[in-house]
């Protein structure tokens, strides 16, 4: 199933809407140019249940699990959550700034929340993500690129190295190679052929993938993102 476009408020009709209070306005001059991939599981390593959504909506029962006490003071969110089965939940309109990146920078620009969309995958660094999650993430990327000039897809680890590790080594950045994305749908092929280059980054391999009419069709290497921020 291909997703419908975003509406004027940055809401996606194909997503379950669960509004989070943990957001605010983007700076007026901040164009969305970055997609940040995260992972989350609550309790850690366990999937299913409502704890993730409860955390993002400030309704988590901290007595329900010993781990929850350690995150009592967190006020966080993301624009989207992709469940293991591919269910897509939207918590924050894309026009607003979700609180997902924290202290962060990308190519020398700090406060990545200002200019990014955050997507949480229900998962863990060392556990394989589902095919449905990869498919949903690719579909979401198509929708977002129709609205915003997104040029980079990164992990949380890439914008907060040393502080964050997600989406972890279990996330297969190769699933975003041009050939594999092109096979998803005719609309996606058209998008890739008629938009500026998109780059998917993997800090672990320092490998990037160019997508778009002006981009290479093969994998290539360049200095890791962290070195370019110095």
Rounded to an integer, what distance in angstroms lies between the CA atom of residue 20 and that of residue 97?
11
DSSP, residue by residue, 176-216: GSHHHHHTT-HHHHHHHHSS--EEEEETTTTEEEEESTTS-
Tell me whether residue 199 is in a domain. no
CATH number, residue 66? 3.40.80.10
Phi, psi for residue 48 in degrees, rounded to 5: 95, 175
Tell me whether residue 39 is in a domain. yes
Tell me whether residue 175 is in a domain. no
Q: What are the tens digits of pLDDT across the range 62-89? A: 999 999 999 999 999 999 999 999 999 9
Q: What are the tens digits of pLDDT across the range 28-46? A: 888 999 999 999 999 999 9
For the chain, the domain total comes to 1
Q: What are the tens digits of pLDDT across the range 127-172? A: 999 999 999 998 998 899 889 988 888 899 999 999 999 999 999 9
Average the pLDDT over 165-192 and give the result: 67
Q: What is the pLDDT of residue 132?
A: 95
For the chain, percent of residues with pLDDT exceeding 90: 63
Residues with catalytic roles: 120
Max alpha carbon distance in the chain (Å)? Answer: 53
Q: Using the predicted structure, report yes or no on whether residue 226 has a pLDDT greater than 80.
A: no
Tell me whether residue 78 is in a domain. yes
Lowest mean pLDDT among 55-69, 119-133, 161-175, 179-193: 179-193
Rounded to an integer, what distance in angstroms lies between the CA atom of residue 33 and that of residue 145?
9
Instruction: Write the CA distances from 221 to 156, 207, 217, 218, integer angstroms.
Output: 20, 5, 13, 10
Exposed / middle / buried, residue 45 (Cβ in 10 Å: 0-12, 13-18, 19+): exposed
Residue 113 or residue 186, greater confidence:
113
DSSP, residue by residue, 107-146: TTEE-GGGGEEEEEEE--TTSPPPHHHHHHHHHHHHHHHH
Residue 27 or residue 210, greater confidence:
27
Average the pLDDT over 44-65 and give the result: 98
Q: What is the pLDDT of residue 24?
A: 98
Tell me whether residue 226 is in a domain. no
Q: What is the pLDDT of residue 150?
A: 87
Rounded to an integer, what distance in angstroms lies between the CA atom of residue 79 and that of residue 81?
7
Q: What is the pLDDT of residue 198?
A: 55
Rounded to an integer, what distance in angstroms lies between the CA atom of residue 208 and that of residue 151?
12
Tell me whether residue 83 is in a domain. yes
Q: What is the pLDDT of residue 153?
A: 87
Exposed / middle / buried, residue 229 (Cβ in 10 Å: 0-12, 13-18, 19+): middle
Closest CA to 113 of 149, 156, 51, 60: 156
pTM, two decimals, is 0.83
Domain hosting 79: range is: 16-169
Tell me whether residue 217 is in a domain. no
Q: Using the predicted structure, report yes or no on whether residue 219 has a pLDDT greater than 60.
A: no
């Amino acid at each position: 199933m291909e997703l419908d476009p975003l509406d004027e408020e940055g809401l996606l009709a194909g997503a379950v809407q669960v509004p989070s209070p943990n957001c605010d306005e983007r700076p007026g001059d901040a164009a969305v140019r970055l997609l940040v991939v995260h992972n989350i599981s609550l309790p850690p390593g366990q999937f299913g249940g409502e704890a993730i959504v409860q955390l993002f909506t400030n309704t988590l029962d901290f007595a329900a699990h010993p781990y929850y006490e350690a995150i009592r003071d967190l006020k966080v969110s993301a624009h989207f959550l992709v469940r293991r089965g591919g269910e897509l939940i939207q918590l924050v309109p894309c026009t607003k700034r979700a609180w997902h990146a924290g202290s962060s920078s990308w190519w020398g620009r700090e406060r990545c929340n200002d200019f990014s969309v955050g997507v949480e995958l229900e998962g863990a660094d060392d556990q394989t993500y589902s095919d449905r999650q990869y498919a949903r993430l690719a579909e979401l990327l198509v929708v977002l690129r129709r609205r915003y000039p997104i040029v980079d897809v990164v992990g949380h680890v890439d914008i907060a190295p040393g502080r964050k590790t997600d989406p972890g080594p279990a996330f297969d950045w190769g699933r975003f190679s041009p050939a594999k994305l092109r096979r998803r749908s005719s609309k996606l092929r058209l998008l890739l052929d008629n938009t500026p280059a998109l780059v998917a980054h993997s800090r672990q391999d320092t490998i990037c993938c160019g997508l778009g009419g002006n981009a290479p069709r093969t994998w290539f290497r360049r200095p890791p993102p962290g070195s370019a921020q110095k």
